[in-house]
Amino acid sequence: MEDYHKPDQQTVQALRNIATRLRINSIRATTAAGSGHPTSCCSVAEIMSVLFFHTMKYHPEDPRNPSNDRFILSKGHAAPVLYAVWAETGYLKESELLNLRKIDSILEGHPVPKQQFVDVATGSLGQGLGAACGMAYTGKYFDKASYQVYCLLGDGEMSEGSVWEAMSFASFYQLDNLVAILDINRLGQSDPTPLQHHVEKYQRRCEAFGWHAVIVDGHSVEELCKVLSQPRHQPLAIIAKTIKGKGIPAAEDKMGWHGKPIPKDMAESLIKDLQSRIISTSKRLYPAPPTEDASPVSLRNIRMPNAPSYKPGDKIATRKAYGMALAKLGRYNEHVVALDGDTKNSTFAELFKNEHPNRYVECYIAEQNMVSVAIGCAVRDRNVVFASTFATFFSRAFDQLRMAAISESNINLCGSHCGVSIGEDGPSQMGLEDLAMFRAIPTATVFYPSDGVSAEKAVELAANTKGLCFIRTSRPENNIIYNSNEDFHIGQAKVVYKTNDDHVTVVGAGVTLHEALAAAEQLKKERINIRVIDPFTIKPLDSKTIIDNARATRGRIITVEDHYYEGGLGEAVCSAVVNETGFTVHRLAVSQVPRSGKPHELLHLFGIDRDAISQAVRKVLSSSANAK
């Protein structure tokens, strides 16, 4: 520790005073709000004081500066202490803290990015460290910059598997610019945590995951200063033994206080007592400025240099077209990065890796962490991030996806192997809920390309679209149906087959669009004409094109999808036409848990192939004839 400069006594006292003020302001804010987690704030007061006023290098007046050290409050319920820190820096007015949790205040119950000093929303526990890994990976390998990443976790969230996925990722990639501080305050929400104060057990677990782990007294400013100034050669876990409710005698280390504000009368005397502990010192602490070595990045106009090179009649699976498009996009845009969960030879993300190995991140079979890392990589607009796996495996990361929307994150996700059309692998591998899942997310755009041209256009559009983008790709090879110069837009469907006298409008996507086109040829022999629509995006759906064309077919619509009935294309079309008079929607979808079989057998078994479409068209026409 020869290079450790021990802080002088004035600095130590100033840090203790800040910790006391953080406690006071956390209590004040939560008591004023009538809700919140003051005891969870009080256990981390010294940690926050040392981090923000001794260790971290940043511009307090410019919280999103790309060169600043990063901080993630994974235990998001301790938000009031984070707000108190930013009041201490002068960025927030102290009076604003009293507006905590009010409808017109930016200081919400848990951190959200409408606060400039918050990069990712937290509060769904166990997710902060994964996002911190994405930031640290970006800092070390993409930005090659000096900024450090600090993540504060609660001991309760250490029960989440996603924390250990992140621990594993950080050590594998030697993220020596990452520090996790574990607030071991012994008490969870309704019970003590499983390991309580057995800090040595946490230490052994962190070491087993490849981290350097140090136990400290989390209320000792000196110990925190010392451990945070050590040189690092691997990720560091600081296991801080703390007391929940420290500084609140009635609540210290006691059950029953989690998420409860201090009553007003009690808070007043408590604040007086805490104020009496502040020992005046001439020292005023300011954060040190960072090394300005994170260069500016522009993510505007991420474009393909030329049109797709497919020709009508070519055959390609949209999953492969995704990989080819991503590699092409990466060739002309150095900030495009790709992540995958050990499925890159199935999603074809390997085509990107082969061309741009330094911008590919293998996340292994840890989809929750992959999504969190993607969110972290996209923070402060440092990268255009694509992450891929089988569509169905995103369902285990739904909470991370939901939090990505709350985080105002711009990430692009590609789910391959959708539907029963994957064939023999069976239902555990089939994405049949993914459209419902992504449609439910407010900031999501859902692409469902049906050939190589539209898949390439979807990749380019996603790269330039805010929010979450999901691209649903298929395993079977299908014909190219679009010319390479076809123009695609979000929310704009394509009429791919029509005559002047169509009887029914059929809406299909992916493999079912090709089945619909085959059904159109079959039915033509029976002098039945159908109009076929490719929606291209399921969200937003091009309601106008569907309604205008369905009017031409007397309101008769059939939807066909390789997805369960609930939440997919059929329901999207139903909600689009619900107010139209004289419209009927007949839906074809997968009605039960499927099984193994050949793709064409499964499409037939579940009634979503060309024969089923033709039969549905005849049925719709005969019932409308009978109605007359």
**Both structure tokens of 481:** 């149906």
| Structure-derived torsion over alpha carbons of residues 404, 406, 410, 414, reported in degrees to the nearest 10 | 40
The CB-side HSE value for 205 (13 A sphere, CA atoms) comes to 17
Question: Of 367, 433, 456, 561, which residue is the catalytic one?
Answer: 367
With a CB cutoff of 8 Å and minimum separation 6, the contacts of 439 are 446, 538, 539, 567, 568, 572
| Cα–Cα separations (whole angstroms), residue 628 to 503, 526, 551, 624 | 15, 21, 18, 7
Report which DSSP code applies to 560: E
| Structure-derived torsion over alpha carbons of residues 552, 557, 558, 564, reported in degrees to the nearest 10 | 140
d(CA 594, CA 607): 12
Q: Nearest-CA neighbor of 180 among 213, 150, 224? A: 150
Beta-strand runs (E) in 76-119: none
d(CA 254, CA 185): 11
Token pair 């692009």 is found at 412
| Cα–Cα separations (whole angstroms), residue 79 to 40, 44, 47, 274 | 9, 11, 14, 20
- Concerning whether 367 is annotated as a catalytic residue, the answer is yes
Q: Return the SS3 of 349.
A: coil
Contact 547, 580 (CB under 8 A): yes
Element (H, E) at 370: helix 367-378
**Both structure tokens of 40:** 């969870």
| Structure-derived torsion over alpha carbons of residues 195, 199, 201, 202, reported in degrees to the nearest 10 | 90
Report which DSSP code applies to 476: S
d(CA 144, CA 293): 8
What order do you get walking across the sheet with 537-539 strand by strand? 360-362, 336-340, 384-390, 411-416, 468-472, 444-447, 537-539
Q: Is 280 exposed, middle or buried (0-12, 13-18, 19+ CB in 10 A)?
A: exposed
Residues with a catalytic annotation lie at 367
